[in-house]
Structure 1
Amino acid sequence: MADAKGNSWEEKDRANVLHGFTDFPSLKENGPVILTHGEGIYVFDVHGKRYLDANSGLWNNVAGFNHKGIIEALTAQAERFPGYHSFFGRIADVTVALSERLIGLSPFDSGKVYYTNSGSEANDTMVKMLWMINRRKGQPERRKIITRINAYHGVTIATSSMTAKPYNSEFGLPLPGFLHADCPHYWRFALEGETEEAFTERMARNLKDLIEREGPETIAGMFAEPVQGAGGVIPPSKGYFAAIRPVLREYDIPLVADEVICGFGRLGEMWGSDYYDIEPDAIIASKCITAGYYPMGAVILGEELTAALETACEAAEEFPHGFTAAGSPLGSAVALKALDVIENDGLIDNVRALTPYFLERLYRFGEHPHAGEVRGVGFMGAIEIVADKKRKTSFDGKLRISERIANKALEKGLICRPLGASVVLAPPFIITREELDTMFDLLEETFAAVFAEIG
């Protein structure tokens, strides 16, 4: 489609848009995909081509792309009271209602919610909360933050430092004081002959050693995703959280569950913390909180951290932090409706009901000679591509194998995500069994075509 000057949407994109987290060789070769609208689990480009979005947008469009009830909630709030801030003790009524709802859904008996516009901002805010608490407690040296290799916690300066991915070296990160513990990926990092139980024990022992080496009195907190999402859908090894929780408690180190991806039903439970019995001190939420219909993030503090932060704020006379649009009435109304849809309109029930079939179809890829590991939990799945299955060796990087698979899938009308050497699936919660079959059939066709090309 082109305008009167002959400029196509793709040409306009090339001239004016800088894409983040995009493979530039693929973009140069194939061009962008410019979308116009969505229906159910499908999105449509400017040429009318339909794509089954097997990644729920970016993990978040779990109610599909045209949910009437959520759109009506957004419209009604826009007509009533479209925008306000949450500074100076003023806030919209609908945002207070959402806060009450979130505490009720959380694992905490009581607590408080602080709003941001994204998961990155929420994690960044939590770091500042921990630093403020410790300074006001007379422990200003407690500043170090522990995350894990292959973790993803955001793109601000602090959260990029928490995100233990190699690409952050492009920015000269991480900053000092951000520590990266082991990734609990048994298939990739187990020693030869090591059982999964022994691997988990080693993860906990290594965490304890890290804390003692750095000095427990210098550690402000540990952040962990229940399942490492952007690391390539990496579930923790068996018993992992049960093993590390006592270590953190021994040294009075809060555990913050980054539920940006897992929260609100992705694993078939309201929280990944429920699924893995994590017992966090705080939760970071975003993405599914509005089903992808509005930017929103939230820090949900449990009882102890709420009390500690309020004490610090009273001493300082304020919490000197905030975002203009955080706690927006529009976002709050959308979130209330989205949470109602997820919890009460059958979405989380559908995840629970179809997870066995999703995993059954996913694990069939384990028979493929180049599927090194197939892993999944709830509506999250990944296929790790290898050149040699026995040795777990990767293809030559020049082949850009996962990117080739994602590009071939696009040709066939399927959106899946390449993450490192893995291909990731995270379908919308509304998907049907028949649509799951379509999704997996298209991916099987894609694999056959790609591996026929490379031989």
Structure 2
Amino acid sequence: MHAWEKQGMENVFPGFSDFASLDEIGPIVLSHGEGIYVVDVDGKRYLDANSGLWNNVAGFNHQGIIDALCAQAQRFPGYHSFFGRVADVTVELSQRLIALSPFEDGKVYYTNSGSEANDTMVKMLWMINRAKGEPGRRKIITRQNAYHGVTVATSSMTAKPYNAEFGLPLPGFLHADCPHFWRNGLPGESEDAFTARMARNLEDLIEREGPETIAGMFAEPVQGAGGVIPPSKGYFQAIRPILRKYGIPLIADEVICGFGRLGAMWGSDVYGIEPDAIIASKCITAGYYPMGAVILGKGLSDALMEASDRFGEFPHGFTASGSPLGSAVALKALDVIENEGLIDNVRALTPHFQERLQRFNDRPHAGETRGIGFMGAIEIVADKVTKTPFDSKIGISERIANKAIQNGLICRPLGASVVLAPPFIMTRAEMDEMFDLLEKTFDAVFAEIRA
């Protein structure tokens, strides 16, 4: 093992890492990036098919974003947003985000991550309801297989089995059905009937818990870390009237989908979600600076201002919220995405991306290929007819991801799925390289399994 890898094993505690794989093959210690590729300390290049962690959409060495970061560092690198003091670039970014949002008016609250933004939104809802004389409205609805973060509150919102290791979820965090038709549809059930059932079950949950106890519902347009799960047809149109009927705000978690991943500025636009607030992060700075944002529509913004006026302030914040450095980077990243052809490239190459993805349907162990825009997943099964997964001891998706690394491709294992979410700057030739490497990887892995 190289000295860098050895030191990494000894001194770095990695998150969401398979320790058995690390013990066997060691970590990858990276030194720099070149476009859509990252390079390790030994000089080996890897095509990063996951944009880092969904976020490095402009590649790893975009000179314009780097220049914007450096220029702001020279002028005014760091400050807070407490006590009514805020950097000029943060004001400019807030105006830009409201203009890009589905809201005609509203306000933006800054955090350092999507987890913090979702956590902050929960506290905002709780404060609003106390001020309205409804302190019992505290329960939060999310969905099975959702991912909303890793703080204590957002881990409780994240309906993944691993959170049981922390003794979570906390009481009051409710998990509705996952609208994954392929996996959760009943025998003979049409997709329309499935969507109607999802809506009925949600209303049953609300009535069972008591509408007067529910503060809000959070939903990703496409469930990203759940394995790239688009909603069933008409899902948001079915649940939106139910939430309005009971006065429950709908918060769109756009941490992954926002700023172009689906070929539109927001996943909410693609699916007609009509949210009351948007949670943003990741692509907001193209991965060049940690930042998250709560974008409040006018209704929630006014309600939070009224609640804060009653108390005298909004008693919540982070030291680096609305950092001038982060704000300058975000302004440039949004300009690059919107005006330098990145979102246009996603739209132009989406048909080819999805066509290459669908080719995996011909393989015996590809149970479902699914995706939209520049995100896709292949769910691996032992039996396509019964949709039976491989024994978890095989670790099939981890095995595929590890073999891909050997082939110079970084893809992500998520449950029984292999996920792709490439940078927005990817060319057609690079896209073909990515899929060719993944096909080569599948051939090798399943040849080993058959043997």
What's the TM-score bracket when you normalise by the shorter of the two chains?
A: over 0.9
Picking from 167, 172, 177, the partner of 1:182 is 177
The reply on whether 1:233 has 2:251 as its aligned counterpart is: no
1:107 partner letter? P
Q: Secondary structure at the match of 1:79?
A: helix
1:364 Cα deviation (Å)? 0.2
Q: Secondary structure at the match of 2:377?
A: strand
TM-score by length of 2: 0.99
1:28 partner letter? D
1:98 Cα deviation (Å)? 0.3
Distance in 2, Cα, partners of 1:52 & 1:13: 22
Picking from 119, 125, 133, the partner of 2:128 is 133
Q: What does the per-residue CA deviation read over 1:115-163, in whole Å, with 9 as the maximum and x for residues that have no partner?
A: 0000000000000000000000000000000000000000000000000
1:104 partner letter? A
The reply on whether 1:150 has 2:138 as its aligned counterpart is: no
Match of 1:321 in 2: 316
Q: What does the per-residue CA deviation read over 1:363-391, in whole Å, with 9 as the maximum and x for residues that have no partner?
A: 00011000000001000000000000000
Match of 1:378 in 2: 373
The reply on whether 1:163 has 2:158 as its aligned counterpart is: yes
Distance in 1, Cα, partners of 2:288 & 2:149: 19
Once superposed, what is the RMSD of the aligned Cα atoms? 0.6
Distance in 1, Cα, partners of 2:333 & 2:301: 26
Distance in 2, Cα, partners of 1:27 & 1:104: 45
1:23 Cα deviation (Å)? 0.7
Picking from 421, 445, 451, the partner of 1:426 is 421
Picking from 251, 275, 281, the partner of 1:280 is 275
1:439 partner letter? M
Distance in 2, Cα, partners of 1:66 & 1:445: 28
Distance in 1, Cα, partners of 2:24 & 2:245: 54
Q: Secondary structure at the match of 1:423?
A: strand
Distance in 2, Cα, partners of 1:24 & 1:214: 40
The reply on whether 1:346 has 2:341 as its aligned counterpart is: yes
The reply on whether 1:10 has 2:5 as its aligned counterpart is: yes
1:326 Cα deviation (Å)? 1.0
Taking every aligned residue pair, what percent have the same amino acid on both sides?
A: 81
Match of 1:242 in 2: 237
Q: Secondary structure at the match of 2:38?
A: strand
Distance in 2, Cα, partners of 1:207 & 1:399: 35
Distance in 1, Cα, partners of 2:391 & 2:102: 45
Distance in 2, Cα, partners of 1:306 & 1:245: 20
1:243 partner letter? A
Question: Which consecutive aligned stretches of 4+ in structure 1 deviate over 2 angstroms post-superposition?
Answer: none
Q: Secondary structure at the match of 2:376?
A: strand
Match of 1:81 in 2: 76
The reply on whether 1:21 has 2:16 as its aligned counterpart is: yes
Q: What does the per-residue CA deviation read over 1:374-412, in whole Å, with 9 as the maximum and x for residues that have no partner?
A: 001000000000000000001111110000000000000
Distance in 1, Cα, partners of 2:191 & 2:177: 14
Picking from 44, 51, 58, the partner of 1:63 is 58
1:14 Cα deviation (Å)? 1.1
Match of 1:369 in 2: 364
The reply on whether 1:337 has 2:329 as its aligned counterpart is: no
Picking from 340, 358, 375, the partner of 2:353 is 358
1:244 Cα deviation (Å)? 0.2
Distance in 1, Cα, partners of 2:390 & 2:174: 30
Match of 1:297 in 2: 292
1:262 Cα deviation (Å)? 0.1
Name structure 2 gaps, 5 residues minimum: none
The reply on whether 1:109 has 2:104 as its aligned counterpart is: yes
Picking from 31, 37, 40, the partner of 1:42 is 37
Distance in 2, Cα, partners of 1:58 & 1:197: 33
Distance in 1, Cα, partners of 2:25 & 2:343: 36
TM-score by length of 1: 0.99
Match of 1:5 in 2: none
1:193 Cα deviation (Å)? 0.3
